[in-house]
Amino acid sequence: MDIGILGTGMVGQTIGSKLVQIGHKVMMGSRTIDNPKGMNWAKEEGPNAYFGTFADAAAFGEILFNCTQGSASLQALEQAGAENLKGKILIDTSNPIDYSAEITTLTVCNTDSLGEQIQRAFPETRVVKTLNTMNANVMVNPAKLIEYTDIFVSGNDGEARAVVSGYLRDWFGWKTVIDLGDITTSRGVEMFLILWLSLRRVVSSKYMNIKLVTS
């Protein structure tokens, strides 16, 4: 499959490399055409890895990943262009984190979420929020943890949620994907990040995720 990845950071690189490794063609996109991280990534990952602008990557992919920082996501998607995003599934992994405050806060929460903002800004794109609740390395390799854990999908299009759940299983090895429902459930997975960041500070292990346990 041809897949577009917006963002050249740790999340974009980790997901992009995994997708190339399992046989997909991946274009990573950035704000500028000469982004060193994106250019190096494409060079290192070989012939099935490409680099271009946000618009190039969005036009290239049959399916897209938003791996930009939450504070920059809406602008990055504008640059990608609504026409290039139209009709496609956009897997949104971003978190609206404001690191500038002494105690980390979210730039949007409670009555709205970044997932909803993206869906409203691009109504003809099928936004599925997922993967945002864990480290990048866990996203693409859940077996890295000592037990299988859980991952969530949120989005208005039930078929898109099912398709993405299938990709999470087939591409990355997730066993359990919990379908939370419409895009308003992005609020919960984004707000969870504040607890996650607290845990990150007190848990000695580098990688972690949560597992839902029932009676």
The count of residues in the chain is: 215
CB of 167 closer than 8 Å to CB of 155 = no
Interface with a copy of itself, residue 197, by CB under 8 A: yes
Q: Binding to a copy of itself by residue 157, rule CB under 8 A? A: no
Q: Exactly one of 3, 58, 106, 128 binds a copy of itself (CB under 8 A); which one?
A: 106
Stretch that binds a copy of itself, among 41-49, 73-81, 164-172, 200-208 (CB under 8 A): 200-208
End-to-end CA distance of the chain: 40
Of 36, 123, 158, 181, the residue at the interface with a copy of itself (CB under 8 A) is 181
100 binds a copy of itself (CB under 8 A): no
Q: Which residues contact 199 (CB under 8 A, 6 or more apart)?
A: 208
Report the distance separating Cα 168 and Cα 92, nearest Å: 13
**Min dist. Cβ of residue 139 to a copy of itself (A):** 13
Q: Does 55 bind a copy of itself (CB under 8 A)?
A: no
191 Cβ contact partners less than 8 Å away, ≥ 6 residues apart: 106, 109, 110
d(CA 57, CA 3): 8
Closer of 2 and 207 to a copy of itself (Cβ): 207
Interacting residue ranges for a copy of itself, rule: CB under 8 A = 101, 103, 105-106, 109-111, 144-147, 149, 152, 178-181, 184-185, 187-189, 191-192, 194-199, 201-215
